[in-house]
Amino acid sequence: MNTFDYEIIKFINQFSTQSWAFDKIIGFLPGHGLYKGGVLAALLWWAWFKDKDGSMNNRARVISTLLSCVIAVLVGRLLALTLPFRLRPIHNESLHFLLPYDMDPTVLEGWSAFPSDHAVLFFTIAMGLFFISRPIGVVALIYTALINGFARVYLGLHYPSDVIAGAMIGIGIAFLGNIYLVRSKMVRLIVEWSHRKPHLFYPVFFLLTYQISELFLCGRATASGLKELIEKIIG
């Protein structure tokens, strides 16, 4: 473990169990979809309907951001699966990490800490919102840094570098998406489809933003279940 991560983790961990209420709040917020991703998903809906005339530009940026989210999650997962496995602070016995109140010491066992999936995904959204509205984007970035960054470091789920790397990946992909992807024919066709077939577009839009707010947990669980089923059939 590098000195940067060690010093920050040790500093933050000294506040663990100092307040039952604080530990409960910090443990509750990033653990529920409404707070870790639901707020940001709602801001994407706000951005979609922000202009009364249905601005093609803003809607193209929302679509670009959603597509960037899918790309960012795939990149984050690929890195987590291919890079050397990294124990989370909560599972690293050498740290002597002091568990916050009611924290399950077995949570996310077997999952590599680097990079942070939460940071990858939600910083992608926050950066995308920044392209639509700078004030809202700044609020979204700060919100994400606190709920999906600091809170997860405090709980021992990630090292600071896990979050920083995830944030850089998410921000970078959102930046590229809102510079290049936003002008693509694919994005233009999707926006046009939303005008021509709103009865088809909005259910899909809802399901995608819902899955984003839950970090694609249902989709990932479905994929994992299908993989196990196929392996049993083949085996």
Residue 99 lies in a domain: no
Residue 138 lies in a domain: yes
Which of 128, 164, 138 lies closest to 149, judged by CA? Answer: 164
Residue 15 lies in a domain: no
Confidence class for position 52, pLDDT limits 50, 70, 90: low
Q: Which two tokens stand for residue 94?
A: 């050498």
Classify 143 as helix, strand or coil.
helix
Residue 41 lies in a domain: yes
Which of 121, 132, 117, 150 lies closest to 43, judged by CA? Answer: 132
**CA-CA-CA-CA dihedral for 182, 176, 46, 117, to nearest 10:** 140
Which of 47, 181, 198, 71 lies closest to 124, judged by CA? Answer: 71
Q: In angstroms, how far is the first alpha carbon of the chain from the final one?
A: 40
Instruction: Tell me the pLDDT tens digit for each residue of 90-133.
Output: 988 888 888 998 888 888 888 888 999 999 999 999 999 999 99
Q: What is the pTM of this model?
A: 0.88
pLDDT of residue 12 exceeding 70, the answer is yes
List, in order, residues 6 or more apart from 16 with CB less than 8 Å away.
Answer: 23, 98, 99, 100, 154
State which H helix or E strand residue 119 sits in: helix 117-132
CA 210 to chain centre: 12
Q: Which two tokens stand for residue 103?
A: 């924290």
* 69-77: average pLDDT: 91
- Residue 183 half-sphere exposure, CB side, CA atoms within 13 Å? 4
pLDDT of residue 137 exceeding 90, the answer is yes
Confidence class for position 54, pLDDT limits 50, 70, 90: low
* Cα-based distances in Å from 5 to 84, 104, 113, 150: 17, 22, 13, 13
Which of 125, 112, 115 lies closest to 62, judged by CA? Answer: 125
Look at the chain and report how many structural domains it folds into: 1
Residue 128 lies in a domain: yes
Residue 53 lies in a domain: yes
pLDDT at residue 177 in the model: 92
* 176-182: average pLDDT: 91
Other CB atoms within 10 Å distance of the CB of residue 151? 23
Angle at 79 between CA 74 and CA 85, to 5 degrees: 135
* 57-65: average pLDDT: 92
Residue 210 lies in a domain: yes
Residue 100 lies in a domain: no
Domain that holds residue 148: 21-91+110-234
